[in-house]
A and B are shown apart, each in its own frame.
Chain A
Amino acid sequence: MRAVLSKAEIESEITDRFGTAFKLREKAPVEVLSTGIPEVDTITGGLPRGAITEVFGSASSGRTSLMVSILAHATNEQEICALVDTNDAFDPVTVAGSGMVFDQLLWVRCCGEDGWDRPEGRKIERAFKAADLLLQSGGFGLVILDLADIPSKDVRRIISSWWFRFRRAIENTPTVMVVISQASCVGSRASHILELKKEMEVWTSASNTSTFPDSGERKAEILTPLFSNSNAVAPRSTPLVTSVSVTSAAPANGFNSRVNHSFLLRRLRLNAERQKPASFVSRKAHFDSTARL
């Protein structure tokens, strides 16, 4: 009691001299950038500016879908974005339909002149140096460090001082940093951590199915022709081939409607779980990533 009193006395003395030194400062509202997916925004509250957000999950868990969505949304918001692509895996052709503004995107391919064959360690080193240069130069609204193809054992070996350095570089700036990986590696240095999992995939609705000759369980789904110039109908015992001759059939919607792939895989049902910050409110969200021409 005596100690409490004396503490109060000291505080009152100091308050008289230094003003409101002991008053709790009101926390400024967190500025965020939307991911472009309302379900994910609901559980994360958006990507905080001036902090690192980590997204991790295994292959085909929707990490790239989320990354594309974030980039598309940010570039449409006129943010200057940078993508540090460690394994040179970003495909501009397939994301063209997402509405991403490529002029707003700086793509750094860390494969170098000698392709992806160089050791993982060198690629990671390059990627981190590139990310550091981008963050230190400032002015970028979004910097994505894509480590999704780096094996978990290599990602876990990254020394933590890099993350501290990145966090220090972007704090009090409007830059959002997103790290995409297979396993959580940023840890406590990230303000938000999101784990993604694949729940199910939806394949092209079959107009015709044929059973595997060697197994009655598996089914091969045969694509409904998307274009009318299918010219080969095979007997049922062999796969039905739908062919598109892109040299003769012009895309209906002009230049951006590419027929590079039919997207036989139609949709992925994904599950996002917020690992950090921990709270009792809803932490899980489901969303679909849809393929389209």
Chain B
Amino acid sequence: MFACIYDRKNAVALMDLAYCFSPLVEETEAGTVVLDIDGCELLFGSAYELANDIARQAVRPIEMGGLGCRVNVAIAANPDAAIFAARSLTGITFISPGEELTCLGDFPIEALGTELSTKFQGSNLKPKPRRQESKGKKFTAPQQIAGSEQGTANEKKRFKELQEILETLRLWGVRTFRDFASLPVNGVSERLGQEGIRLQQLAAGKSVRHLNLIQPAPDFANAIELEHPIAELEPLSFILARLLNQLCAKLNAYALATNELHVSMKLEDGTSHDRKLTLPSPMRDHKVFLKLLLLNTETHPPQSRVVAISIACEPVKPSVLQNGLFIPLAPEPEKLELTLARLGKLVGENNIGSPELIDTHRPGTFRIKRFTLKGTSHRRGRRRDGTQNQQSLIHGGGGQNVKPQCFLGFRVFRPPLHAIVAAARGYPTKISVPDKTRGVQGKIVELAGPWRTSGDWWRVDGWARDEWDVSVESRSEQSPAGGHRGSTLQVLYRIYRELSSGLWFVEGIYD
């Protein structure tokens, strides 16, 4: 059974009224909604009682969830019969199954074109904008989203066809639904086509169709107010787990995931502690979320006790990743994110990531960016399992992209070590670093340089220096650089002298 509520004046609030009685609601047009009331008997009693309830609720004031006015309510076995009855008959109308023609028979034949004629007013065929929002809630119908422009073109075509059929019926002397329903089906089909058959079934109250349901957009947010403030992480984890569990269940129900979590904690001192968790790939695993949130809260604890928590997320489509046979193994995004969060807690968030060079000549300038897994599309083909075996490697089956060569490695001291350098006629001859633990001390036995560089002279922190590569001989017992005890060790350093201050520094070791 279907119930239709009709009220042109309160079109905006009609959907909210309808949702009070059934979750299966179609907004046929502005001011007309149809409810599927099958299965509502246990809640509201018989269909007639339900219609009475709807009418009573509508009369109530707006503050109490009503409309503050009377509405037409019609109940019928099919939605179209209920719509025609609600539009034409005031008050409550109940049409028993099989009695549709008795009720609708005297309706004028022009009523069949009401649905489309209200959309295309007059002859300009411009559709009226359809209401989208009601009391701040968004309603989305799949049919509305997909191809609305194409749908409008089809409706225009249908409207023209409908007008032609109604004109033909008028010429035939057909004036009411009953007249139209009494015509032979074969004759209608031959003369008016399939659209004529459909209109005849509408007039007879025998049309069969499904409701074009409109569902409120789900709200992916969850909040809880605590009876007692929480100051420790462990009890907080239980609350977060509960909220995240519900949130992920909702995401799962809609086959969605999220890549952004917003956590807002209302604190006892009246302030708010907001954290945003950005994930590199969409996920919906509540355990991963919980661990990430706990790690984040541990790293950035709230300043006061927590009295309320709300979690919201941005729903996105889940990533579908099909790993190929020829792609090297990569960490799972969820595990990687957890590992990065744990590493961030261990060594500091600024100390993990991928290095990125900066377009400058200033020595040792780089930045660290967030480590993310790239997509697989750019990856070259290579077997994941049997990558290379020893025989192929020994006989020259190594990497094909990189030309086999060894690049001179350099280990840098951060910050550079201040050094005391003895120089003779401008050449460094001896070096020692006051910090004995670094073991940079000894005679310079070979050197090359200097190489003068400068830059950023227009800035306060400009640099100008002479660089030297030196080989320093030192005894290994005094050097933490390794080597056998007692033997002499030659270590290659890069040293430089700052031209502005004249101070010497050790920048690093060639290794």
Q: Is the interface of B mostly helix, strand, loop or mixed?
A: mixed
Chain A interface size, as a band, is 35 or more
Cα of A247 to Cα of B454 in the assembled complex, Å:
8
Q: Which of A89, A97, A108 contacts B413 (CB 8 A)?
A: A89
User: A168 an interface residue at 8 Å Cβ cutoff?
Assistant: no
Q: Are A151 and B353 in contact (CB under 8 A)?
A: no
Cα of A64 to Cα of B491 in the assembled complex, Å:
13
Closest approach, in angstroms, between the C-beta of B498 and any C-beta of chain A? 15
* Binding stretch for chain A, among B33-41, B217-225, B242-250, B364-372: B364-372
Q: A62-B409, A92-B366, A105-B354 are in contact. Are A45 and B393 (CB under 8 A)?
A: yes
Interface residues of B in 411-459 (CB under 8 A from A): 411-415, 424-427, 429, 445-457
Closest approach, in angstroms, between the C-beta of A153 and any C-beta of chain B? 8
Contacts of B491 in A (CB 8 A): 58-60
Closest approach, in angstroms, between the C-beta of B424 and any C-beta of chain A? 5
Cα of A246 to Cα of B361 in the assembled complex, Å:
7
Closest approach, in angstroms, between the C-beta of A149 and any C-beta of chain B? 7
Closest approach, in angstroms, between the C-beta of B409 and any C-beta of chain A? 3
Cα of A268 to Cα of B490 in the assembled complex, Å:
12
Contacts of B348 in A (CB 8 A): 112-113
Cα of A33 to Cα of B398 in the assembled complex, Å:
8
Interface residues of A in 118-164 (CB under 8 A from B): 126, 129-130, 133-134, 137-141, 148-149, 151-152
Q: Are B411 and A78 in contact (CB under 8 A)?
A: no
Q: Mark B313-332, 1 if CB is under 8 A from A, else 0.
A: 00000000000000111111
Q: Are A41 and B363 in contact (CB under 8 A)?
A: no
Q: Are B408 and A31 in contact (CB under 8 A)?
A: no
Contacts of B411 in A (CB 8 A): 64, 87, 89-91, 148-149
Closest approach, in angstroms, between the C-beta of A6 and any C-beta of chain B? 41
Interface centre among B365, B393, B456, B476 (most CB of A within 10 A): B393
Interface residues of A in 1-57 (CB under 8 A from B): 29-34, 36-38, 41-42, 45-46, 49, 57
Cα of A186 to Cα of B357 in the assembled complex, Å:
34
Q: Are B451 and A38 in contact (CB under 8 A)?
A: no
Q: Are B408 and A139 in contact (CB under 8 A)?
A: no
Q: Which of A76, A152, A218 contacts B445 (CB 8 A)?
A: A218
Contacts of A290 in B (CB 8 A): 405-408
Q: A64-B409, A265-B448, A292-B407 are in contact. Are A115 and B492 (CB under 8 A)?
A: no
Contacts of B481 in A (CB 8 A): 58-60, 182
Q: Are B410 and A91 in contact (CB under 8 A)?
A: yes
Q: Are B328 and A247 in contact (CB under 8 A)?
A: no
Q: Are B511 and A148 in contact (CB under 8 A)?
A: yes
Cα of A130 to Cα of B348 in the assembled complex, Å:
11
Interface residues of B in 292-347 (CB under 8 A from A): 327-332, 335-336, 338-340, 342-343, 346-347
Q: Are B343 and A77 in contact (CB under 8 A)?
A: no
Nearest chain-A residue to B398 (Cβ)? A34
Interface centre among B335, B454, B481 (most CB of A within 10 A): B481
Nearest chain-B residue to A113 (Cβ)? B348
Contacts of B335 in A (CB 8 A): 137-139
Q: Are A80 and B328 in contact (CB under 8 A)?
A: yes
Q: A106-B353, A138-B335 are in contact. Are A245 and B449 (CB under 8 A)?
A: no
Cα of A116 to Cα of B447 in the assembled complex, Å:
28
Interface residues of A in 226-252 (CB under 8 A from B): 237-239, 241-247
Q: Are B390 and A32 in contact (CB under 8 A)?
A: yes
Q: Are A61 and B511 in contact (CB under 8 A)?
A: yes
User: A167 an interface residue at 8 Å Cβ cutoff?
Assistant: no
Interface centre among A104, A109, A141, A223 (most CB of B within 10 A): A109
Q: Are B336 and A91 in contact (CB under 8 A)?
A: no
Interface centre among B329, B407, B508 (most CB of A within 10 A): B407
Q: Are B327 and A78 in contact (CB under 8 A)?
A: yes
Cα of A102 to Cα of B358 in the assembled complex, Å:
13
Q: Mark A269-293, 1 if CB is under 8 A from B, else 0.
A: 0100000000000000001111110
Q: Are B363 and A36 in contact (CB under 8 A)?
A: no
Q: A42-B394, A112-B348, A218-B445 are in contact. Are A242 and B452 (CB under 8 A)?
A: yes
* Binding stretch for chain A, among B149-157, B201-209, B278-286, B463-471: B463-471
Q: Which of B356, B402, B413, B480 contacts A102 (CB 8 A)?
A: B356
Cα of A87 to Cα of B415 in the assembled complex, Å:
11
Q: Are B451 and A264 in contact (CB under 8 A)?
A: yes
User: Can you list 9 contacts pairing A with B, beta carbon distance less than 8 Å?
Assistant: A31-B388, A92-B366, A93-B366, A102-B356, A137-B339, A174-B328, A182-B482, A218-B446, A241-B466
Q: A58-B483, A111-B414, A245-B454 are in contact. List 12 more A-B contacts (CB 8 A).
A: A37-B406, A88-B414, A111-B347, A112-B348, A139-B330, A174-B387, A212-B427, A214-B424, A241-B450, A260-B363, A289-B409, A290-B407
Q: What are the 4 tightest A-B residue pairs by CB atom distance, in nearest-first order?
A: A64-B409, A139-B331, A58-B482, A59-B481
